């Protein structure tokens, strides 16, 4: 059975890891928050308290706050994950980070003979809990194919966006579209109020 190391058990990561446990995968859970680790362990995961304990995993999934954190645990730390990983291990970074950092991780993975995907998600905590996230995946077709059984547990909309870094590019562009749409809606409701149109009636029309 494919062994998964899951690093980053926050509001999104914890339910994602729990879903993988429920699906039958052996999941090594790691976070600096020991309570979060224990919560996943209580559901059947394997509690780990150092990066070294994650060695030997087939797939490594990171769900962290920014590119600096992902690079720290994957390539910069003394016990960096990519340094300890076996050849052909797969790295899936589900964090929402900058494209440059994502491509650095891909380059490091290739140099070590590893597979990698930048795989930011959308769908929020509810999507993470229900396993109905949208995943945007940049990286090789070989990495994408190897990740399929895991991705299908995490999300219901899985899109291979193309080359290294394009998953993060898709997330950034999607966020821009959402932001612009929200601004437009806010302006429309403000204009409606000035023109004497009730917010409810505008809602009914739109």
Catalytic residues: 171
138: phi > 0 → left, psi -120 to 50 → alpha, else beta; which? beta
Closest CA to 5 of 91, 80, 66, 78: 91
Q: Pull the structure tokens for residue 92.
A: 């899936």
Q: How far apart are CA 157 and CA 41, in angstroms?
A: 28
Neighbours of 197 (CB within 10 A): 14
| Contacts for 84 with CB less than 8 Å, ≥ 6 apart | 51, 52, 54, 55
Q: How far apart are CA 34 and CA 124, in angstroms?
A: 23
């Amino acid at each position: 059975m494919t062994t998964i190391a899951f690093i980053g058990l926050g509001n999104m990561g914890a339910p994602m890891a729990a879903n993988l446990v429920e699906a039958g995968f052996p999941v090594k859970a790691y976070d600096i928050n020991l309570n979060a680790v224990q919560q996943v362990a209580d559901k059947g995961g394997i509690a780990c308290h150092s990066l070294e304990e994650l060695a030997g995993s087939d797939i490594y999934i990171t769900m962290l706050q920014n590119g600096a954190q992902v690079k720290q645990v994957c390539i910069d730390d003394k016990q960096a994950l990519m340094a300890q990983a076996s050849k052909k291990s797969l790295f899936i970074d589900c964090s929402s980070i900058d494209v440059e950092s994502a491509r650095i991780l891909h380059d490091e993975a290739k140099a070590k003979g590893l597979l990698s995907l930048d795989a930011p998600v959308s769908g929020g905590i509810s999507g993470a809990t229900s396993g109905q996230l949208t995943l945007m995946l940049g990286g090789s077709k070989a990495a994408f194919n190897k990740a399929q059984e895991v991705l299908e547990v995490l999300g219901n909309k899985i899109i291979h966006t193309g080359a290294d870094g394009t998953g993060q590019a898709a997330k950034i562009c999607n966020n821009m579209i959402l932001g612009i749409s929200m601004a437009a809606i806010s302006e429309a409701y403000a204009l409606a109020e000035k023109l004497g149109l009730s917010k409810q009636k505008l809602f009914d029309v739109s």
